[in-house]
Amino acid sequence: MKKFVLAYNPVSGAAMFRKKLDRLVAMFQERYCILVPYRTSPLNMDFASFVKAVMPSGIIIAGGDGTLNAIVNIMLKNNIKVPIAIIPSGTSNDFASCLTLGTNGFAGYIDSIVDGRTTTIDVGKVGDKYFINVASAGMLTSVAHDVDRRLKSTFGKLAYYLRGIGELPRFRALNMMVEADGKARQVSAFFVLIVNSSVVAGLKNISVKAKLDDGQLDLVMLKQCNIPELVAFTAETVAGKDMINNKNVEYIQAASFKIDCDEDVQSDIDGEPGPKLPLEVKAVPAAIEVYIK
């Protein structure tokens, strides 16, 4: 009989997952599997020892991108090598969207988990911290950090868009040094995104060339432009137009990047505050195994 650890965030997505917990346990029991729940917390200090004691066939992560990031970091730093499944239940579920793990066909996804259908994917690394989806720096970073939790719970991703639109008049470009696979250049840019997956902030038109298994990361940079062009860029991006086609956007694929700035700038790692610049970012190929439909 297979065992799976269920790491669930009790507060993500307006705490709605708790209402689904019993159904999920029942679905695994129907397939003669044991589901061992683990309630995540801000630190999860005992998660590694919990997993090693249970010795599961895999780990099921229920939460948003932040929960996924936290669990994956613990696994990689503690050499826990079991596949993970992702049940999207947070405000932001970009990585699950990239894997097309929506709510449709949920029973089929459970079957795939039990049957052991997996693939290996890359992750990114900044210093000693791993990221699943995106590392960023620039004006967008403050937007992600400043969204009020109550607004986030009520409006979901729309909260990020509303906040971003409200900040447009204050946007200004930063003087940055961008190095890709050893080739450096100076640039004036509003923001830099270093992306692992093809979905960012719920949008599928930002990193259109990104693949999870190519051993590379994708850098998307919005260079300095005037306010009308900035407003047009924002409208086109939210409307679904491919960002790569905008004349003020630069798109670079590489295995490693270095980002620096002549100002005090904090980064964002998978939607959470990251280290201040400079950043050294690299791809870690085939780092984790993921259950797929």
In a domain, 257, yes or no: yes
Do 137 and 106 share a structural domain?
A: no
Using 50, 70 and 90 to split pLDDT, how confident is the model at 14?
A: low
In a domain, 122, yes or no: no
78 Cβ contact partners less than 8 Å away, ≥ 6 residues apart? 48
pLDDT tens for 36-56 read 999 998 889 999 999 999 999
Do 233 and 269 share a structural domain?
A: yes
Indicate the burial class of 189 (C-beta count within 10 angstroms; 0-12, 13-18, 19 or more): buried
Do 267 and 146 share a structural domain?
A: yes
Look at residue 153 in the predicted model and tell me its pLDDT: 46
Quickly tell me which residue has 């109550």 as its tokens.
150
Quickly tell me which residue has 């050893």 as its tokens.
182
Do 75 and 192 share a structural domain?
A: no
**261 and 177 Cβ atoms separated by less than 8 Å:** yes
Do 227 and 96 share a structural domain?
A: no
Question: Structurally, how many domains does the chain consist of?
Answer: 2
pLDDT score of 57 more than 90: yes
Cis status of the peptide bond prior to 275, with omega within 30 of 0: no
Do 104 and 173 share a structural domain?
A: no
* Backbone φ, ψ for residue 162 (5° rounding): -60, -45
Residue where a domain terminates, one of 84, 116, 148: 116
Look at residue 141 in the predicted model and tell me its pLDDT: 64
Look at residue 156 in the predicted model and tell me its pLDDT: 45
| Single pTM value for the model | 0.85
Do 161 and 56 share a structural domain?
A: no
pLDDT score of 146 more than 60: no
Of residues 253 and 204, more confidently modeled: 253
In a domain, 290, yes or no: no
Task: Find the radius of gyration of the CA atoms of the chain.
Answer: 19
Using 50, 70 and 90 to split pLDDT, how confident is the model at 103?
A: very low
pLDDT score of 186 more than 90: yes
pLDDT tens for 209-228 read 889 999 999 999 999 998 88
CATH code (residue 66): 3.40.50.10330
Max avg pLDDT among 47-56, 80-89, 131-140, 218-227 = 47-56
Look at residue 15 in the predicted model and tell me its pLDDT: 64
- Residue 278 is given by DSSP the state P
CATH code (residue 165): 2.60.200.40
In a domain, 167, yes or no: yes
In a domain, 184, yes or no: yes
Residue where a domain terminates, one of 116, 137, 169: 116
Do 164 and 82 share a structural domain?
A: no
Quote the mean pLDDT of the chain: 84
Do 189 and 106 share a structural domain?
A: no
Residue where a domain terminates, one of 116, 146, 177: 116
Do 64 and 201 share a structural domain?
A: no
Region of poorest pLDDT, from 133-147, 182-196, 241-255: 133-147
In a domain, 293, yes or no: no
In a domain, 67, yes or no: yes
pLDDT tens for 229-271 read 888 887 887 787 888 888 999 999 999 999 999 999 999 898 7
Do 52 and 168 share a structural domain?
A: no
Look at residue 51 in the predicted model and tell me its pLDDT: 97
pLDDT score of 177 more than 80: yes
Task: Name the E strands within the chain.
Answer: 3-8, 34-39, 58-63, 84-88, 118-126, 129-131, 134-138, 174-180, 183-195, 217-223, 249-254, 256-261, 266-269, 272-276, 279-291
Query: Residue 5 region, left (φ>0) first, then alpha (ψ -120 to 50), else beta?
Result: beta
Do 181 and 38 share a structural domain?
A: no
In a domain, 278, yes or no: yes
Average pLDDT over residues 129-151: 70
Domain residue limits at 230: 129-285
